[in-house]
Chains A and B, each alone.
Chain A
């Protein structure tokens, strides 16, 4: 059966009104025949047919206006018998609009910065005789903005207590979310994130490392493994990444630790996995004993936890106890991400998107899928060498995915 649709005759034609059918069911038609008169914004246009056959059904009544692409008639190719069931009764063929969310780009300025302050903030600071060089900027590129100056002025009047228990505060905010359920206080989350990140940035001297990892084998392994699995059980690269981080932490335990004026290595490997919320902000559910779980189990955990995180349906226990954090950009966004360590943890691992790049291997340059793995570490707790060992371990594990 051939579906005869309202044709598109111009990019500016969105619909047409059927004025008259020129053919009736049973009529034979050939290429070039006029099937109907259709009224458009530009006037009456004769609509021709490009197929040969017999008119089976006319689906549209004269005088009806329909969008481009609507099925108007069914044409039976010569020699084909009618099958009642094939005839659509509805007259809608709209394609849903694709709306892909643009992933937020992540970049952290690492360079030494001179004092950046917006003209407005500077004006206010100067008017109030405030030395703005000591203010911590929260604006773009770390610039001091009006809000920062106002805060500093308020603190100068009555300095509030230094935040010590900000983690509890963050947790509180998130737990509140849970109680209220479905009315997420975006602002509270934002405030909690802001407090934690500002403290980290203020207190923790970071070091940053990055490593390019050839993902050829890991992706091959995923494809192979997934080929035998039903869609809902398929494993995403994120699960494999989490597993490889866990295994690498077994090799380099110094990064699975806390800083409490000295390095305290933790027994359990509990991985915090950053989930970004569509409305802005992040939550970080914790995967307990990640090193003891299989890739499949990790995938199950992800499938369960991500939608619950996004709908603020988490227990507070699921949000606490992480010993290290992973931030994973997913596909299509920035190449790499340098995270800010979430205290009292001492490391955050950043996974960029996998992209094809020229890569030399055994003296041969080829195109390989490459992943940028980064590590931001607390320099009080560990040194670059430890971090470097960790990234090497990541590489090793991702080259032997079957062993994970």
Chain B
């Protein structure tokens, strides 16, 4: 397979571009997606290529334009709505939860909402308390939504394409911290499955379950631990709702140990949900207490050293796993 190097930003852009080329009903709307070129330069140049009908700048009115996206989807369009970052998503939360997620149910199966909402999210750029959120668990709490987390370049490239085929509203999380990161992906990379978690690395000693910003950090830690004789199985959840539990339950049954790594705050995070399922389903496979490394429960502070201390780092993963292995 031929591999090409590309940034996470470029992968996102190629995904959007392919979606626009594939289906005339698809259009992108969001704050600064057009003339500015996208707040993170993801959609730079698309306005020139596709025109203002399909790349729509919108005013700063999250509630308004997310609602408009829902309406357009109900009426046969395939909108990709960009909420610049998850930080502003609460302004549109009423539209997302009360409308997008419930219309199908309230209308007795008559009205589905094939809408994709993309959001940049995550921490790591010293943007302080209001601009560093990891709110995947909020959305993963809501029945009616499909919640995806693009923790790798291939998912950044391909999740959107599959999401647009979903009959129901999809929330797609992208990670601004990774935008400049370069990785190799297959030159013919395209649509990615959005139903299963993925084993990103095989291992026999311990299962590490993660998503989003945690994926590359965990793989890095697994690499280091491998040199110390510990083989970590790294699982990328990818789909936070509806969650694919089979993949991680099978892994825990093999390794008998599990650690969850996520940037989101600890209480009520994805880790809590993953653990509940492990305890419910494979309790008698456990040979060590479950452990989690999550975001420290504090509004994210601005100074770099405090920001870094707020979320698990690769070294924290290494030392936690060593401890779990009794070293």
7 further A-B contacts with Cβ under 8 Å, apart from A12-B40, A99-B315, A140-B326, are: A43-B37, A104-B322, A120-B287, A122-B284, A139-B287, A145-B288, A146-B287
**Interface flag for A22 (CB, 8 Å):** no
How far is A42 from B256 in the complex, measured between Cα atoms in Å? 47
Residues of B near any A CB (own CB < 8 A): 9, 37, 40-41, 44, 125-127, 176, 179-180, 228-229, 256, 283-289, 315-316, 319, 322-324, 326-327
For A194, the closest partner residue in chain B by CB is: B326
Give chain B residues whose Cβ lies under 8 Å from the Cβ of A99. 315
Instruction: Choose among B127, B228, B324 the residue that contacts A279 (Cβ–Cβ < 8 A).
Output: B228
Q: Which residue of B lies closest to A14 (CB)?
A: B180
A141-168 contact mask (Cβ, 8 Å, vs B): 1 or 0: 0010110000000000000000000000
A42-B37, A187-B229 known; A11 vs B284 contact (CB < 8 Å):
no
Cross-chain contact A120 with B229 (CB below 8 angstroms): no
Does chain B have a CB within 8 A of A280?
A: yes
Nearest chain A residue, comparing its CB with the CB of B322: A280
Query: Bound complex: CA of A187 vs CA of B316, how far in Å?
Result: 23
Contact of A12 among B44, B176, B283 (CB under 8 A): B176
Give Cα A240 to B44, complex, Å. 64
Q: A11-B127, A146-B287 are in contact. Are A120 and B41 (CB under 8 A)?
A: no
A11 contacts B319, CB within 8 Å? no
Does A332 sit within 8 A of B, measured CB to CB?
Answer: no
- Chain A, residues 114-151, CB within 8 Å of chain B (1/0): the string is 00001111110000000000000011100101100000
Which of A12, A119, A140 touches B180 (beta carbons < 8 Å)?
A: A12
- Establish whether residues A11 and B125, one from each chain, have CB atoms under 8 Å apart when the complex forms: yes
Give CA–CA (A119, B290) in the complex, Å.
12
Q: How far is the CB of A102 from chain B (nearest CB, A)?
A: 5
**A122 to B285 alpha-carbon distance, docked (Å):** 10
In the bound complex, what is the Cα–Cα distance between A187 and B325 (angstroms)?
13
B180 touches A138 (CB 8 A): no
Interface string of A38-59 (1 = CB under 8 A from B): 0001110000000000000000
- A11, A123, A139, A190: which contacts B288 (Cβ < 8 A)? A139
A186 at the interface (CB under 8 A from B): yes
Cα separation A229 to B187 with both chains bound (whole Å): 62
Residues of B within 8 A of A143 (CB): 288
Query: Which of B40, B287, B319 has the most CB atoms of chain A within a 10 A radius of its CB?
Result: B287
Chain A residues with Cβ below 8 Å from B41 are: 41-43
Distance A279 CA – B287 CA, assembled complex (angstroms)? 24
Chain A residues within an 8 Å CB radius of B44: 42-43
Residue on A nearest B304 in the bound complex, by CB: A11
Are A102's CB and B319's CB within 8 A? yes
Query: Which chain A residues border B256 with CB–CB below 8 Å?
Result: 118, 120, 146
- Interface pair A280/B228, CB less than 8 Å apart: yes
With a cutoff of 8 Å between Cβ atoms, the chain A residues found around residue B326 in the complex are 138-140, 145
- Cβ-defined contact, B285 with A119, below 8 A: yes
Q: Report B45 CB to chain A, min CB distance, Å.
A: 10
Residues of A within 8 A of B (CB): 11-12, 14, 41-43, 99, 102, 104, 118-123, 138-140, 143, 145-146, 186-187, 190, 279-280
- CB neighbours (8 Å) of A145 from chain B are 287-288, 326
The 10 closest A-B pairs by CB, nearest first: A11-B125, A120-B287, A118-B287, A123-B284, A146-B287, A119-B286, A119-B284, A42-B41, A280-B327, A145-B287
Chain A neighbourhood of B315, CB < 8 A: 99, 102
Complex Cα gap A99–B314 (Å): 11
For this complex, 28 residue pairs linking A to B, each with C-beta atoms less than 8 Å apart, are A11-B125, A12-B125, A12-B176, A12-B180, A41-B179, A42-B37, A42-B41, A43-B41, A43-B44, A102-B315, A104-B319, A104-B322, A118-B256, A119-B283, A119-B284, A119-B287, A120-B256, A120-B284, A120-B287, A138-B326, A139-B326, A140-B288, A140-B289, A140-B326, A186-B228, A186-B229, A187-B229, A190-B327
In the complex formed, the residue of A with least CB distance to B253 is A120
Contact between A118 and B37, CB atoms less than 8 A apart: no
Which A residues are in CB contact (< 8 Å) with B286? Answer: 118-120
Q: How far is the CB of B38 from chain A (nearest CB, A)?
A: 9
A104: B residues at CB distance < 8 A: 319, 322-323
A86→B211 CA distance, assembly (Å): 49
Q: Which residue of B lies closest to A105 (CB)?
A: B323
Q: For the complex, give the distance between the alpha carbons of A2 and B229 in Å.
A: 50
Residue numbers in B under 8 Å from A190 (CB-CB):
327
A41 to B125: give the CA distance in the assembly, Å: 16
What A residues does B37 contact at CB under 8 A? Answer: 42-43
Q: Give A292 Cβ to nearest chain B Cβ, in Å.
A: 37
Distance to closest chain A CB from B321 (angstroms): 12
Known: A139-B326, A186-B228. A121 touches B125 (CB 8 A): no
Q: How far is the CB of A165 from chain B (nearest CB, A)?
A: 24
Q: B9 to chain A: which residues have CB within 8 Å? A: 41
Distance of A11 from chain B, by nearest CB (Å):
4
CB distance from B254 to the nearest CB of A (A): 12
B327 touches A121 (CB 8 A): no
Once bound together, how far apart are the Cα atoms of A118 and B315, in whole Å?
27
Bound together, the chains give a CA A382 to CA B179 distance in angstroms of 64
Contacts of B180 in A (CB 8 A): 12, 14, 41
Specify the chain B residue showing the minimal Cβ separation from A149: B287
How far, in angstroms, from A104 to B323 measured CA to CA in the complex? 9
Which interface residue of A119, A146, A279 has the most chain B CB atoms within 10 A? A119
Nearest Cβ distance between residue A127 and chain B, in whole angstroms? Answer: 10
Assembly CA distance A49 to B287 (angstroms): 62
Contacts of A12 in B (CB 8 A): 40, 125, 176, 179-180
A140 to B284, CA, bound (A): 17
Q: What residues on B are CB-neighbors of A123 within 8 Å?
A: 284
Task: Across the interface, name the chain A residue whose C-beta is closest to B291.
Answer: A140
- Chain B residues lying within 8 Å of A14, measured Cβ to Cβ, are 180
Chain A residue with Cβ nearest B10: A41
Which partner residue on chain B sits nearest A280 by CB separation? Answer: B327
